[in-house]
Amino acid sequence: MAGGEKRCGLIVVFCASLAGSAALGQVPGNGEWPNYGNDPGGMRFSRLTQINRDNVSTLKLAWVFHAGDMSFGSGGRKRSGFETTPILVDGTLYITTAFNRVIALDPAGGEQRWAFDPQIDPTWEYGDGLVNRGIATWLDPSRSKAQPCRRRIFESTLDARLIALDGATGKPCADFGEHGQVSLRNVPGYIPGRYHMTSPPVVIDGIVVVGSAIDDNQRVDMPAGVVRAFDARTGVLRWSWDPIPPNAPTAQTAASPKTWRTGAANAWSIMAIDPVRDLVFVPTGSASPDYYGGLRPGDNKWANSVVALHAKTGQLAWGFQLVHHDLWDYDTASPPLLATLNHAGKIIPVVIQGNKTGLLYVLHRDTGTPVFPVEERPVPRSDIPGEVTSPTQPFPVAPPPLVPQQFSMDDIWGPTAEDREWCRTEIGRLRNQGIFTPPSIKGTLAVPGNLGGMTWSGYAFDPQYGLLIVNTNNFPNRVKLIPRNKVRSNQEDGEYGPQTGSPYGMIRRFLQSPSDLPCTAPPWGTLAAVDMTEGKIRWQVPLGSMQNFGGAHDPIPPGSINLGGPIATAGGLTFIAGTTDPYIRAFDVENGKELWKARLPASGNATPITYVSSTGRQYLVIAAGGHPKIPEDPLGDVLVAFTLP
Q: List, as one string, the DSSP characters of 252-318.
A: HHHS-TTT----B----S--EEETTTTEEEEE--PBSSTT--TTS-S--TTTTEEEEEETTT--EEE
Domain membership flag for residue 164: yes
Q: In whole angstroms, what is the distance from residue 497 CA to residue 290 CA?
A: 10
- Give the DSSP H/E element, type plus range, for residue 425: helix 417-428
CA angle 11–16–21, rounded 5-degree value: 125
Q: Is a pLDDT exceeding 70 seen at residue 571? A: yes
Exposure of 486 by Cβ count < 10 A (0-12 exposed, 13-18 middle, 19+ buried)? exposed
Domain membership flag for residue 620: no
State what percent of residues in the chain have pLDDT above 90.
86
Strands (E), 149-265: 151-156, 161-166, 181-183, 195-196, 202-204, 207-210, 213-214, 227-231, 237-241
Domain membership flag for residue 421: no
Check residue 507 and report its DSSP letter.
E
Residue 354 has phi, psi (to 5 degrees) of: -115, 170
Q: Kindly provide the b/e burial profile for residues 193-207, where b requires at least 16 CB atoms within 10 angstroms of the residue's own CB.
A: bbbbbbbbbbbbebb
Residue 384 has phi, psi (to 5 degrees) of: -90, 125
The chain-wide mean pLDDT, for the chain, equals: 93
Domain membership flag for residue 400: no
SS3 607: coil
Residue 519 confidence class, pLDDT cut points 50, 70, 90: very high
The answer to whether the CB of 180 falls within 8 A of the CB of 164 is yes
Q: In whole angstroms, what is the distance from residue 160 CA to residue 518 CA?
A: 36
The answer to whether the CB of 99 falls within 8 A of the CB of 106 is no
- Residue 153's beta-bridge partner residues? 137, 165
Q: In whole angstroms, what is the distance from residue 50 CA to residue 615 CA?
A: 13
SS3 251: helix
Cis peptide before 399 (omega within 30 of 0): yes
- Comparing CA positions, the residue from 450, 294, 436, 459 lying closest to residue 360 is 459
Q: Is a pLDDT exceeding 90 seen at residue 30? A: no
Q: Is a pLDDT exceeding 50 seen at residue 398? A: yes
pLDDT at 11: 43
Q: What is the pLDDT of residues 614-639, one digit of tens each?
A: 999 999 999 999 988 887 788 999 99
**Residues labelled as active-site residues:** 329
Amino acid at 80: S
- Comparing CA positions, the residue from 278, 273, 145 lying closest to residue 201 is 273
Residue 18 confidence class, pLDDT cut points 50, 70, 90: low
6-9: long-range contacts (C-beta < 8 A, 24 or more apart)? Answer: 6/346, 6/347, 7/345, 7/346, 8/342, 8/345, 8/346, 8/347, 9/345
Q: What is the pLDDT of residues 229-284, one digit of tens each?
A: 999 999 999 999 999 987 655 554 555 545 788 999 999 999 999 999 999 999 99
- Residue 333's beta-bridge partner residues? none
Q: In whole angstroms, what is the distance from residue 227 CA to residue 345 CA?
A: 37
User: Which residue range(s) make up the domain with 287?
Assistant: 134-323
- Residue 139's beta-bridge partner residues? 151
Q: What is the pLDDT of residues 579-617, one digit of tens each?
A: 999 999 999 999 999 999 999 999 999 999 999 999 999
Q: How many CB atoms lie within 10 A of CB 464?
A: 19
- For 439, residues 6+ apart whose C-beta sits below 8 A from its C-beta are 291, 292, 327, 328, 382, 384, 446, 479, 480, 481, 506
- Give the DSSP H/E element, type plus range, for residue 337: strand 337-343
Mean pLDDT of 31-58: 98
CA angle 114–117–120, rounded 5-degree value: 165
pLDDT at 201: 98
Mean pLDDT of 79-96: 97
Domain membership flag for residue 193: yes
Strands 130-132 and 80-82, bridge-based pairing? parallel
Q: In whole angstroms, what is the distance from residue 369 CA to residue 242 CA?
A: 22
Q: Is a pLDDT exceeding 50 seen at residue 4? A: no
Q: Kindly provide the b/e burial profile for residues 132-165, where b requires at least 16 CB atoms within 10 angstroms of the residue's own CB.
A: bbbbbbbeeeeeeeeeebbbbbbbbbbbbbbbbb
pLDDT at 36: 98
- Give the DSSP H/E element, type plus range, for residue 428: helix 417-428
Q: In whole angstroms, what is the distance from residue 280 CA to residue 291 CA?
A: 29
Domain membership flag for residue 142: yes
Rg (CA), the chain: 23
Mean pLDDT of 284-303: 96
pLDDT at 439: 98
SS3 102: strand
- Residue 362's beta-bridge partner residues? 352
Output the domain CATH number for residue 182: 2.40.128.630
SS3 191: coil
pLDDT at 9: 42
- Give the DSSP H/E element, type plus range, for residue 95: strand 92-96
pLDDT at 17: 63
Domain membership flag for residue 228: yes
- For 628, residues 6+ apart whose C-beta sits below 8 A from its C-beta are 78, 79, 80, 81, 128, 129, 130, 131
Domain total of the chain: 1
- For 102, residues 6+ apart whose C-beta sits below 8 A from its C-beta are 94, 95, 96, 115, 116, 118, 135, 153, 155, 163, 165, 170
Q: In whole angstroms, what is the distance from residue 171 CA to residue 169 CA?
A: 5
Domain membership flag for residue 265: yes
Q: How far are the Cα atoms of 55, 402, 537, 549 from residue 645, in angstroms, in the given order?
A: 10, 37, 35, 33
- No. of H helices and E strands in the chain? 3, 42
Q: How many CB atoms lie within 10 A of CB 449?
A: 29
Q: In whole angstroms, what is the distance from residue 7 CA to residue 18 CA?
A: 11
pTM: 0.95
HEC per residue, 531-597: ECCCCEEEEEEECCCCCCCCCCCCCCCCCCCECCCCEEECCCEEEECCECCCEEEEEECCCCCEEEE
